[in-house]
Amino acid sequence: MMLKTGIPKLDELLGGGVPAGKSLLFFTQPGIEGDVFGMQTLYNALTGGLRAAYVLTMSPPYEFFESMRELGWEVSDTEHHLLVIDGYSKLIGMDSKAKYVVDDPYNIENFDAAVRSVLEESDALFFSSLSDLMDMCGEVKTLESVRAWLKLAAEKGVPVVANFTAWPYDAETLEGIKEAFNAVVKIAGIAERIIIGQYYSVTKADWVEAEEKALLFKVVRPGGVRAYIPKILVTGPYNAGKSTFVGALSKRAVSVDRFGTTVALDHGYVDYKGVVAEVFGTPGQERFDPLLKWLGGESMGVFLVVDSTDAESFPRARKMLEMTRASGLPCVVVANKQDLPGALSPEEIRKQMRLEEDVPVIPAVATERKGVFEAFETLVERIMGI
């Protein structure tokens, strides 16, 4: 059995997911919304028909179910194979209807008894927050118990997934918790004076050759964790269909035009197959070339949209491509207007534009949304390198 996380690109980096008996730790920098990673993996397990146990230490069960609903995930312990170990309610003197209730959350032995019991009837074990457990029961005792639970789960072939926030614990504790797990996914922020972005990377996984690649992400409600590309440039000659392409690709798009001609930027927001992206389209006239160079320097990838029926515009398109690829950006050429008479094939466009073999040319009809998402998936794969 392979436990899939359902998190965009992560399962690919893990070689398909978490194997039976293996363990995965989401090791999160304080201030980053990392707990969603564990919740999303739990939801994916439940909807896949697995019996899952969830050790809850961050909130009472009703708040946990509400948080799942906010993310668009309707789960319950009655309709799904979910066993909740309530390690929170007794902290605030609240009654609980959970099957397993920890009477003394400050005593690690109370958690130990519940965990050992659910391992007998579960296909996967989840911890909402091992750092909360440490705060209640102590770093040393918690780490000892975690090691014992992981050993027992491995013997029973039960995969384990846990969230952990890297508060300023002892260095031995931070290293010890990472060493205890078979795989670690680091979740952190890109910061200057404030956190301006979030990323995750697989720092180890003993069942696959882990590639420590940093992938940007965004948490959306509803939806959960999405791979995130903050800026993709859409460019091309005048009248190639850039605004139409941006509009066809986007859930919402804004275009500033005058008499039907774009005189400022097109902006679109894409949410497709677990990836969200911001796309920016530039006007095709030469007077906007300084803007093209500036945007190209800040983008992560480029769509070059060309009119397949207008070979005379290809030299201009080639020049625009050279300007945007000065920094080696991944690029996809969108051969638009394939439905019109005289449209050249992608192969003919490649030849006439003298494009390198590593530049994909995707046929498209943006007015009918044909080929636009194929082009998007192709560029995303090239940006992420997976």
Task: Determine the distance from the C-alpha atom of residue 323 to the mean position of all C-alpha atoms in its chain, rounded to a whole number.
Answer: 30
| SS3 of residue 348 by DSSP | helix
What is the reported pLDDT for 196? 59
CB 95 within 8 A of CB 127: no
Alpha-carbon distance of 369 to 247, in angstroms, equals 9
- Over the chain (386 residues), the average pLDDT of each successive run of 10 is 93 96 97 95 95 95 95 80 95 91 96 96 97 97 98 98 97 98 95 70 93 89 94 92 93 55 72 93 66 66 96 94 76 97 98 94 98 97 82
Q: DSSP per residue over 247-279, as a string?
A: HHH-SEEEEEEETTEEEEEEEEEEEETTEEEEE
CB 301 within 8 A of CB 231: no
What is the reported pLDDT for 43? 96
The two structure tokens encoding residue 152? 């027992």
Alpha-carbon distance of 292 to 324, in angstroms, equals 7
For the question of whether the overall pTM of this predicted structure is more than 0.85, the answer is yes
Cis peptide before 30 (omega within 30 of 0): no
What is the reported pLDDT for 202? 96
Alpha-carbon distance of 227 to 112, in angstroms, equals 36
Burial class (CB in 10 A: 0-12, 13-18, 19+), 373: middle
What is the reported pLDDT for 258? 43
Which residues lie across from 331 on neighbouring strands?
A: 302
Q: Which residue has the tokens 């066993």?
A: 83
Q: What is the 3-state secondary structure (H, E, C) of 178-233?
A: HHHCCEEEEEEEEECCCEEEEEEEEEEECCCCCCCCCEEEEEECCCEEEEEEEEEE
Alpha-carbon distance of 61 to 51, in angstroms, equals 17
- Domain topology for 2-222: Rossmann fold (3.40.50)
What is the reported pLDDT for 253? 55
Alpha-carbon distance of 233 to 302, in angstroms, equals 5
Same fold, 2-222 and 229-384: yes
What is the reported pLDDT for 210? 76
- Express the helix, strand and coil content of the chain in percent, nearest 5 each: 35, 30, 35
Alpha-carbon distance of 41 to 30, in angstroms, equals 20
Spans of all domains in the chain: 2-222, 229-384
| b/e map 329-343, b = 16+ CB within 10 Å | bbbbbbbbbbeeeeb
Task: Determine the distance from the C-alpha atom of residue 224 to the mean position of all C-alpha atoms in its chain, rounded to a whole number.
Answer: 8
**CATH ID of 229-384, from 3.40.50.720, 3.40.50.1860, 3.40.50.970, 3.40.50.300:** 3.40.50.300
Q: DSSP per residue over 97-166, as a string?
A: --SEE-S-TT-HHHHHHHHHHHTTS-SEEEES-HHHHHHHH-HHHHHHHHHHHHHHHHHHT--EEEEEE-
Contacts 24+ apart (CB under 8 A), 170-176: 170/139, 173/134, 173/139, 173/140, 173/143, 176/143
Give the strand pairing for 215-220 and 195-205: antiparallel
